[in-house]
């Protein structure tokens, strides 16, 4: 354990001397390994990857300011990589000027984000009272189309699906999409660099927090024991929630300690963690897990509901980053900003797919813990 973590901290110390935090400029704020993964998965040059990370960090920090400037006219926001800027929808053109003064780009929106969120909340409430049909993969708000997007499994039909869609349409405008049903991505015991729950389930560490680390809730229930990658006793689940949510807090013991890094598993350099600014839709994001290591993609949407076989999980973030069994609980990070822990998805890292994560800030608030940061 100590040998592996010492290597991680050594690389982190080297990175600390070379990385600069930027708010509005474009210098790199991510590890060389993460930037290399972005180059591979997005087809970027090194300079383009550095520039994009800087722009995305600026957009993440700008988003709450732009939302406040828009007021009741706020129609959602997303990062546009072609523009390198945050785009904000506004339902009232009078709000466009103050939003543009923050540095964001504005576009007209047909419905406010508050109205879309309320529509989704109504569908969530209905699903909690009566579980959604298995043929419904999930539902989300989409500020770019100004609608609730309900995702159905290919070929889905039936009275139960029609009834669910009727409920959604009563709540707000609906757009239909097709995708396979997501699944959680925990796994049985195999070789690699995992943590194990009760000796027979493998998941991945999310982020170090004061007193332990956070991960996915479906990996284990409260009280479950945990051993580390080296087989030594690591600690136990101090809290866990799944379904409804998909997060957990594992309290570490027996000499284990925390570090403000996301491991590169020997494939790329470790990434420093400096905070948890929320990345808007359109932003790049990279995932680290014990099965498939580093992969990058894009944040596709926030506050989405996933309809797993075990039940719905709410307020998740959807990405087009791939994942496979054993990656559950692993880290999603944009630049040096923690985003969330891997929940589940569909597809794999050979053919592609989509993966959802539970936002880290919600987990920190629920368990009253703070990130360990560089």
219 φ/ψ angles, rounded to the nearest 5 degrees:
-70, -30
Note if the bond before 15 is cis, omega within 30 degrees.
Answer: no
Query: Do residues 238 and 249 lie in contact, with contact meaning Cβ atoms separated by under 8 Å?
Result: yes
Q: Enumerate residues 6+ apart whose C-beta is below 8 A from 47.
A: none
Is 292 in contact with 327 (CB distance < 8 Å)? yes
Element (H, E) at 248: strand 247-252
Beta pairing, strands 174-178 & 147-152? parallel
Positions marked active-site: 218, 246, 328
In this structure, the chain runs to a length of 374
Joined tokens for residue 262: 């996301």
* Cβ contacts of 275 within 8 Å, gap of 6 or more: 336, 337, 338, 371, 373
Nearest to 59 by CA among 81, 37, 75: 81
Q: Which ranges of the chain does DSSP label H, i.e. alpha helix?
A: 2-18, 32-42, 46-70, 96-101, 113-129, 159-171, 360-367
**Which are the contacts of 103, defined by CB distance < 8 A and separation ≥ 6?**
24, 58, 62, 66, 85, 86
Grouping H, G, I as helix, E, B as strand and the rest as coil, residue 102 is coil
Q: Which residues pair with 304 in a beta bridge?
A: 316
Closest CA to 135 of 184, 172, 178: 178
CA–CA dist 319, 323 (Å, integer): 10
């Amino acid at each position: 354990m100590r040998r592996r973590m010492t290597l991680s901290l050594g690389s982190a110390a080297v990175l600390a001397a070379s990385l600069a935090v930027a708010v509005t400029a474009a210098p790199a704020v991510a590890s060389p390994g993460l930037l290399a993964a972005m180059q591979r998965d997005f087809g970027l040059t090194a300079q383009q990857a550095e520039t994009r990370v800087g722009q995305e960090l600026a957009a993440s920090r700008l988003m709450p300011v732009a939302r406040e400037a828009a007021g009741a006219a706020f129609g959602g926001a997303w990062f546009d990589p072609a523009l390198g800027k945050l785009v904000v929808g506004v339902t009232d053109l009078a709000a466009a000027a103050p939003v543009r003064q923050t540095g964001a780009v504005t576009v007209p929106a047909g419905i406010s984000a508050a109205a879309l969120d309320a529509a989704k909340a109504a569908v969530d409430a209905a699903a909690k009272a009566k579980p959604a049909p298995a043929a419904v993969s999930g539902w989300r708000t989409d500020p770019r189309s100004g609608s609730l997007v309900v995702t159905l499994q290919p070929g889905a039909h039936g009275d139960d699906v029609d009834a669910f869609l009727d409920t959604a349409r009563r709540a707000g405008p609906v757009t239909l999409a097709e995708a396979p049903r997501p699944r959680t991505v925990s796994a049985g015991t195999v070789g690699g660099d995992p943590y194990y729950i009760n000796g027979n389930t493998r998941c991945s560490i999310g982020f170090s927090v004061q007193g332990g680390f956070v991960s996915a809730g479906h990996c284990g229930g409260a009280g479950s024991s945990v051993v580390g990658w080296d087989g030594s006793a690591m600690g136990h689940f101090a809290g866990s929630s799944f379904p409804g949510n998909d997060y957990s807090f594992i309290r570490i013991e027996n000499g284990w300690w925390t570090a403000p890094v996301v491991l590169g598993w020997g494939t790329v350099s470790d990434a420093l963690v400096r905070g948890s600014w929320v990345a808007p839709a359109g932003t790049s994001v990279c995932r680290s897990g014990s099965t498939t290591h580093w992969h990058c993609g894009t944040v596709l949407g926030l506050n989405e509901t996933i309809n797993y076989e075990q039940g719905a999980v709410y307020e998740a973030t959807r990405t087009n980053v791939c994942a496979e069994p054993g990656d559950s609980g692993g880290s999603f990070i944009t630049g040096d900003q923690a985003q969330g822990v891997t929940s589940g998805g569909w597809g794999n890292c050979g053919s592609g797919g989509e993966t959802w994560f539970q936002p880290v800030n919600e987990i920190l608030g629920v368990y009253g813990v703070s990130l360990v940061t560089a």
